[in-house]
Structure 1
Amino acid sequence: MSARSLTAPLGAACSALVLLLAAPGSASAATGQFRYSYTTAEGYEAVGFLNNPASGECINLHGPGSEPGSAGRAPKNRTDATATVFLGPDCEGDVYYTLRPGAGAGDRLLVRSVVFS
């Protein structure tokens, strides 16, 4: 086989690899819903939820009419990803809890932020 006959297939393969690496990937997201309870500014009980939340991105939790950063409670992870919930905002602080897919916690677990794996 001549060197010229190898050049064309090799060039095509390299071009395909470059295109594959240059193409933007799809954003990663947890599939499903994450739910939590909270109290509105008016004192009513409500449920907040995140549908198909982004993975690897910290999400501060609060519901409509509630104070941003106020604590939610009783998280339910109905996604296909692990959720790490934090008592502090911005996914910071020493107090956090990990919820496997399908797991939940009771009213005593307070949460202000969450990140999905």
Structure 2
Amino acid sequence: MVTPGTASAAAGQFRYTYTTTEGYDAVGFLNNPPSGTCVNVQGPASEPGSPSRAPSNQTDATATVFLDADCQGATYTLRPGARASERLLLRSVLFS
């Protein structure tokens, strides 16, 4: 007998900073993001095409952030509880 799998999620919150169309800094977040699924990050009312920055991984899973959307391009890995500098840019993230 096969038991159906359950969807897993990284417990906690992943935060990032983005710039609004008015030029203000704002914080976006993902609560309990899905594991094994690429998530494109962009804050509401963010400047079109602009990357987010300064990710903070407050989940219990490792987060791999990508410079490009759809988990493409250069990567950086953040362990659980890690925070990156303002210089780290991202457009997507994958939790493991």
Question: TM-score when scaled to structure 1?
Answer: 0.78
**Count of matched residue positions in the alignment of Structure 1 and Structure 2:** 96
Q: What is residue 114 of structure 1 aligned with on the other side?
A: 93
Letter in 1 for 2:85: G
- 1:55 and 2:35 aligned: yes
CA distance in 1, matches of 2:5, 2:86: 38
CA distance in 1, matches of 2:68, 2:59: 22
Which 4+ stretches in 1 moved above 3 angstroms?
none
- 1:105 and 2:74 aligned: no
Pairing 1:29-48 to 2, within 5 Å after superposition: 29-48=9-28
CA distance in 2, matches of 1:101, 1:68: 29
Unaligned runs of 5+ in 2: none
Q: Which of the pair is proportionally richer in strand?
A: 2
Higher relative contact order, structure no. (Cα contacts within 8 Å, ≥ 6 residues apart): 2
SS at match of 1:87: strand
Letter in 1 for 2:29: F
